[in-house]
């Protein structure tokens, strides 16, 4: 997986970003970068549902600490296999950018 970023600038969730859930040693590095002076709360969410199946509404689960909620920059990783991740924000002002990096098999 190439490093992938998504920026959220209004209240709501980003699009789902698929990850390679078939890896034996699953690990996705995640950074959340909050713009200077921003007033917002973010949460990283994960799903095991098939985001490409239009008949399925993916169920979002909150990622484990330290990515479960924040108001400032954060770095963490997810070792629990999942199929996709997204950033969900409540924003008064500013932006939050989530970047995912996953190694190869």
Q: How far apart are CA 47 and CA 63, in angstroms?
A: 9
Sorted by sequence, the CB contacts under 8 Å of residue 101 that are 6+ apart come out as: 1, 3, 28, 29, 30
Mean pLDDT of all residues in 16-38: 94
Question: Quick one: pLDDT at residue 50?
Answer: 97
Report the pLDDT averaged over residues 64-85.
Answer: 96
Residue 38 has pLDDT above 70, yes or no: yes
Full-model pTM: 0.93
| pLDDT confidence tier of residue 9, bands split at 50, 70 and 90 | very high
The residue-averaged pLDDT of 45-59 equals 97
Quickly state the pLDDT bin for 103 (edges 50, 70, 90).
Answer: confident
Whether residue 1 has pLDDT greater than 70: no
Q: What is the DSSP letter of 17?
A: E
Q: How many residues does the chain have?
A: 105
Residue with tokens 């390679």: 20
The percent of residues above 70 in pLDDT, for the chain, comes to: 98
């Amino acid at each position: 997986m190439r490093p992938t970023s998504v920026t959220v600038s209004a209240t709501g969730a980003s699009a789902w970003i698929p990850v390679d859930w078939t890896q034996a040693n699953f690990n996705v590095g995640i950074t959340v970068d909050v713009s200077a002076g921003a007033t917002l709360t973010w949460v990283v969410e994960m799903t095991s549902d098939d985001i490409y199946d239009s008949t399925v509404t993916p169920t979002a689960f909150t990622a484990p600490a330290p990515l479960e909620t924040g108001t400032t920059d954060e770095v963490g990783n997810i070792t629990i296999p999942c199929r996709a991740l997204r950033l969900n924000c409540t924003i008064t002002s500013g932006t939050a950018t989530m970047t995912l990096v996953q190694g190869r098999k």
